[in-house]
Amino acid sequence: MKPGILVISHGSREAAWVKLVDDAVIAAAASPCLSDIPIVSSFLEIIEGRLIQDGIDELERQGVTDMYVVPFFISSGSTHVDEIGQAFGLPWLTDLEGDLGTFRVSANVRYGLPIDDDPEIAELLAANIAELSTEPEKEALLLIGHGSKEKMFHERWQEGLLKLGERLRALGGYKRAEYAMLLPDQAAAKLAEMQAANPGEAVIVVPLFLSRGYFTNHVIPTRLTGLEYRYNGKAMLPNQAIERWLERQMLEGLQRLNEK
């Protein structure tokens, strides 16, 4: 058996976004425990020459017979996580069919899990927003994630956001934590509802995205136009906590491959 690891993230037209992801994967792969393991970072779309099939082909070119796939995504509610699994021949979560087709792969494949409510990532987010807080016992959090309209995926997003919100509330001593999704468009209505229910309460908006870009810089501020809130737009990358999360996924994946 020769194990290898394929990291899959979404991809972006912004070169800085791609570099942040690549840098995190490179840092995780630098672990001495991973020194002899082929590791390839690939993308769901946009990055020609580095798409998922390219990554599979590269690992198999290096002789990999057993491949662990790390879905570098925020939530198990992402339809992308399921469509990637479908393309590897794994059972569908619902009857929603992805458009990736079926990958050409000879290696045995094991599929990991995305970030969801990972405790160390919650600490990362808590540090991101700490600068916005003055009296946490009088402040509320509003977590905003991409979300999904699709049944079951929507519920998975809800579950992860609830758990992550509670982690953040407890870590910072905040009064409460709420959540909203961009899909469906819930953010403005949720923020307005929070302010109507608790006049004068400061709300800190927490973006749940891997890297700063279109959603953190444009979509969230635009959706919340005219409303009062605190926001610094900080995303998860760059941060050593993400690098450690990736390293943990890789090491646990190798253990799973050895247990098969």
Give yes or no for residue 41 having a pLDDT over 90: yes
Residue 70, SS3?
strand
User: pLDDT of 211-244, one tens digit each?
Assistant: 988 899 999 999 999 999 999 999 999 999 999 9
Q: Name which of 65, 30, 229 is nearest 143 in CA terms.
A: 229
The DSSP bridge partners found for residue 86 are none
**Distance from C-alpha of 97 to C-alpha of 78, rounded to nearest angstrom:** 13
pTM of this prediction?
A: 0.91
- Residue in this structure with the two tokens 């946009």, named with its chain if needed: 46
Task: Provide mean pLDDT across the span 108-136.
Answer: 95
Tell which CATH architecture fits domain 3-115+239-259.
3-Layer(aba) Sandwich (3.40)
Contacts of residue 215, Cβ cutoff 8 Å, sequence gap at least 6: 146, 182, 207, 209
The DSSP annotation for 123-149 comes to HHHHHHHHTT-S-GGGEEEEEEE----
Domain residue extents for the chain: 3-115+239-259, 119-223
**Distance from C-alpha of 253 to C-alpha of 259, rounded to nearest angstrom:** 10
Residue, of 153 and 93, whose pLDDT is higher: 153
Percent of the residues in the chain that have a pLDDT greater than 90, as a whole number: 87
Backbone φ/ψ region at 89: left (φ over 0), alpha (ψ -120 to 50), beta = left
Residue 18 host element (H or E): helix 15-29
Position 200 scores a pLDDT of: 86
Task: Provide mean pLDDT across the span 154-165.
Answer: 95
Do 200 and 135 contact (CB within 8 A), yes or no?
no
User: pLDDT of 131-151, one tens digit each?
Assistant: 999 999 999 999 999 999 998
- Residue in this structure with the two tokens 């409510």, named with its chain if needed: 117
Q: What is the DSSP letter of 33?
A: G
Position 214 scores a pLDDT of: 86
Do domains 3-115+239-259 and 119-223 share one topology? The answer is: yes
User: pLDDT of 82-114, one tens digit each?
Assistant: 999 999 999 888 877 878 889 999 999 999 999
Average pLDDT, the chain: 94
Give yes or no for residue 54 having a pLDDT over 80: yes
Do 107 and 40 contact (CB within 8 A), yes or no?
no
Residue 14: pLDDT band by 50, 70, 90 thresholds? confident
Do 52 and 44 contact (CB within 8 A), yes or no?
yes
Instruction: Please report, for residues 106, 178, 204, 227, the alpha-carbon distance to residue 191 in angstroms, rounded to integers and kept in the order given.
Output: 49, 9, 10, 8
Q: Which of 1.10.287, 1.10.10, 3.40.50, 1.20.1740 is the CATH number of 119-223?
A: 3.40.50
Give Dmax (Cα) for the chain: 62
Give yes or no for residue 57 having a pLDDT over 90: yes
Position 96 scores a pLDDT of: 78
Residue 55: pLDDT band by 50, 70, 90 thresholds? very high
